[in-house]
Amino acid sequence: MLGAATDRAVFDWPSLGDPTDSIVLQIAARYFDNCAAAYKPHTYKAIAVMNIRTTAIPAAMTDAAWSRYSLGAEYNVKDPATQQPAVRNLFWSRQELPPAAGILTLEELAQRGNIFLVCDFAMGHLSTRLATKVGRSTDDVHADLRRSLVPSAFAVPSGIFGLARAQNAGCAFVRM
- Beta-carbon contacts of 150 under 8 Å, excluding residues fewer than 6 positions away, are 60, 61, 62, 89, 92, 106, 107, 110, 116
CATH numbers and ranges of domains, the chain: 2-174 (3.40.1260.10)
Cα 103 to Cα 4: distance, rounded to the nearest angstrom: 25
The predicted structure's pLDDT at residue 2: 67
Name the burial class of residue 94, with classes exposed (0-12), middle (13-18) and buried (19+) by CB atoms within 10 angstroms of its CB: middle
What amino acid occupies position 31?
Answer: Y
The predicted structure's pLDDT at residue 1: 57
The predicted structure's pLDDT at residue 137: 98
Name the DSSP letter for residue 8: E
pTM: 0.93
The DSSP string of 36-59 is HHHS-TTS--EEEEEEE-GGGGGG
pLDDT tens-place values along the chain, 176 residues long = 567 899 999 999 999 998 888 899 999 999 999 999 999 999 999 999 999 999 999 999 999 999 999 999 999 999 988 999 999 999 998 765 555 666 889 999 999 999 999 999 999 999 999 999 999 999 999 999 999 999 999 999 999 999 999 999 999 999 87
Q: With contact defined as beta carbons under 8 Å apart, do 60 and 52 qualify?
A: yes
Cα 135 to Cα 118: distance, rounded to the nearest angstrom: 24
The predicted structure's pLDDT at residue 26: 92
What amino acid occupies position 30?
Answer: R
List 10's β-bridge partners, or say none: 49, 173
The predicted structure's pLDDT at residue 100: 61
